[in-house]
Structure 1
């Protein structure tokens, strides 16, 4: 009797599992970004998206110990939900030193669509994050490569 009950319950369980419909996940269409990365369109980002939440990048300990300053210029995708859709390092100085920290900070950023951008058009834009330390050993080179002045941040 116990075997019959156990077998019946097991059979019902198997039939229930077997009868589940397979759910096919549709692949998402690629996001169509408006490209605002060229120099003549950089300022247009303000017409579409405004930074609501910004997190400054952490300074790499090794770079601080070595007295390195620098920057990372990223091409950033802002999705229709106002979040980071992806990024690509366009330029960094010194190459590779600050890249991961810059990208990690951007994952916490949040943008809000402007009134003009009521349909929340996704955009590609360029964002440069600067890393400066007082007494920088590469002050002149970093200023030349990144286009900033250490004097602005004192």
Structure 2
């Protein structure tokens, strides 16, 4: 009987929690500010960057423009926030994210040399699917970041 009561209580809690919880769809769009086909370096991991959990929990979305160097060994260095909206949060998490990125030569013919780059990161949330958040992010990336 005791087990049955515990199981019933657990089932009721599960129903009430799942009826309140909703899915949050988010996307991060990475855009080269000065696109060119002759970059020396490309990101080692071409997957969409993960939306920072701290931003998602707070419902924060926005954009950041960052300038940085890629060293001769493919390491991200000297990350500078050029602009960020909202200023405090998105810039901070963008810098943190970018510092972890590894870079590989864009072609086998390219010689490993340092490179200065400027990227824009757009953090978007909303919609009823991942596809809808990706579309919203592509639209947001067309707007000024600032």
Instruction: Tell me: CA distance 1:117–1:88, structure 2 relative to 1, closer, same or farther (3 Å).
Output: same
What is the number of equivalent residue pairs in this alignment?
102
SS in 2 for 1:96: helix
Which residue does the alignment assign to 1:78?
70
Structure 1: distance between partners of 2:87 and 2:117? 21
Return structure 1 stretches of 4+ with deviation > 4 angstroms: none
Larger strand percent? 2
Give 1:96-115 correspondences, 5 Å limit. 96-113=88-105, 114-115=107-108
Q: CA deviation at 1:123?
A: 0.8
Instruction: Tell me: CA distance 1:85–1:65, structure 2 relative to 1, closer, same or farther (3 Å).
Output: closer
Taking structure 2 as the reference length, the TM-score comes to 0.56
CA RMSD for the aligned pairs?
A: 3.2
Of structures 1 and 2, the one with the larger relative CO (CA 8 A, separation 6+) is: 2
Asked if the contact 2:43/2:103 (under 8 Å) is kept, the reply is yes
Structure 2: distance between partners of 1:46 and 1:132? 29
Q: Deviations over 1:113-153 (max 9, x none)?
A: 233421x1101111111111116xxx9xx933349xxxxxx
Which residue does the alignment assign to 1:132?
124
Gaps in structure 2 of 5+ consecutive residues? 1-32, 128-135
Which residue does the alignment assign to 1:94?
86
Does 2:144 align with 1:145? Answer: yes
Q: CA deviation at 1:60?
A: 5.2
Taking structure 1 as the reference length, the TM-score comes to 0.53
Structure 1: distance between partners of 2:53 and 2:115? 29
Q: CA deviation at 1:47?
A: 3.1
